[in-house]
Structure 1
Amino acid sequence: MTNWINTVSRDHVLLGVRGRFTQAGHGKAEPLRRVARGDWIIFYSPRLEYPDGAPLQAFTAIGQVVDDEPYQAELSADVMPWRRNVDFLASTETPIRPLIDDLEFIENKQRWGYRFRFGLFAIGDSDFARIRGAMTGTPVGARTIGQTIEETL
């Protein structure tokens, strides 16, 4: 299982949460082909709205992929983005700034925003647990429902 961060404006994240899906790379299929059933995705929103909304810089949703392959949604004859189905957790929008110093995937703390320019990227288990804990109130290292004792060791 892989943990991902998907960089998406908040307005697009909210559409995905309502529709129980995610897109990546402005609807491209290739990034979503790297994602597998059971993978977790944390959504980071640099802005409130795409493309020029006010800055937000917060983690805005978290969910788990529940399908096996990307599929195309037909929004119009010209707009057919690729998607993956996601079950979202109840969570609280969480500003990134208080977490920056503790996140391993952000190597250069002075230029922390650079990492998010890659859209969809993988992160380690400890970073995932730290962000998930901040968003859901689950302490880092706590077992989750369905997680065995062996998985926590």
Structure 2
Amino acid sequence: MEKLPERAWLGVVSAAHVRIGVRHGFAQVQHGKRSGLDRLRRGDGFVHCSPTEEMGGRVPLRAFTALGVVVDDESFQAEQVMAPGSSFRPFRRLVDDEPVQPLALEEVRDRLALTASANWGYRLRRGLVPLDPQDFALLAGLVLGAVPA
């Protein structure tokens, strides 16, 4: 990653789904809804935070699991076959993610603007929230080993 983006976002997605997105170069949030993704712009930073390993899982993970930059100009709708005769058409954005080792939220909680206010966790229920670019820089430095200029 060459430089700090002007804007950044945090997507809340299970770690298993994050790995699928990273492998195929996309981000999908809010169960495939378009509205949130349409707010992203090319060059925005994007961080995935995974509350659990599996969607609906009961064992907490609470870790940052991917970090990258949005590389397209608009949302697109994918066709995902679920079972014979049924499909799911989620909206996605192309994201160039860097491979990272999961970073526990608890390790950096006291250093993030994201977690500075009381009841900060309620915001994450939206599935996609703006992230302070300085938080993005801090996370990039910790998970990638170097803070962008």
Instruction: Give distance in 1, aligned partners of 2:64 and 2:140.
Output: 9
Instruction: Report the 3-state secondary structure (helix = DSSP H, G, I; strand = E; otherwise coil) of the residue aligned with 2:40.
Output: coil
CA-to-aligned-CA distance 1:99-128 (integer Å, 9 cap, x gap): 11111121336x453332121111112111
Instruction: Tell me: higher relative CO, structure 1 or 2? Use CA pairs within 8 A at least 6 residues apart.
Output: 2
Instruction: Give distance in 1, aligned partners of 2:56 and 2:40.
Output: 25
Indicate conservation of the 8 Å contact 1:47/1:55, yes or no: yes
Instruction: Give distance in 1, aligned partners of 2:141 and 2:26.
Output: 22
CA-to-aligned-CA distance 1:18-72 (integer Å, 9 cap, x gap): 1110111100111110001111100000000001242100000011111111111
Residue in structure 1 matched with residue 125 of structure 2 by the alignment: 117
How has the CA–CA distance of structure 1 residues 53 and 14 changed in structure 2, closer, same or farther, with 3 Å as cutoff?
A: farther
Instruction: Report the 3-state secondary structure (helix = DSSP H, G, I; strand = E; otherwise coil) of the residue aligned with 1:78.
Output: strand
Q: Normalised by the size of structure 2, how large is the TM-score?
A: 0.87
Letter in 2 for 1:123: L
Superposed, 1:17-96 pairs within 5 Å as 17-76=22-81, 77-96=86-105
Superposed, 1:4-15 pairs within 5 Å as 4-15=9-20
CA-to-aligned-CA distance 1:84-113 (integer Å, 9 cap, x gap): 11111132210110111111121336x453
Mean Cα displacement is larger for which, 112-121 or 4-13?
112-121
The runs of 5 or more residues in structure 2 that have no matched partner are 1-5
Residue of structure 1 aligned with 2:114, choices 80, 105, 112: 105
- Aligned-residue Cα RMSD (Å) equals 1.5
Compute the displacement of 1:5 (Å): 0.4
Tell me if 1:128 matches 2:136. Answer: yes
Q: How many residues align?
A: 140
Instruction: Give distance in 1, aligned partners of 2:17 and 2:114.
Output: 24
Give the structure with the larger strand fraction: 2
Identity of aligned residues (%): 39
Instruction: Give distance in 1, aligned partners of 2:101 and 2:16.
Output: 15
The runs of 5 or more residues in structure 1 that have no matched partner are 144-153
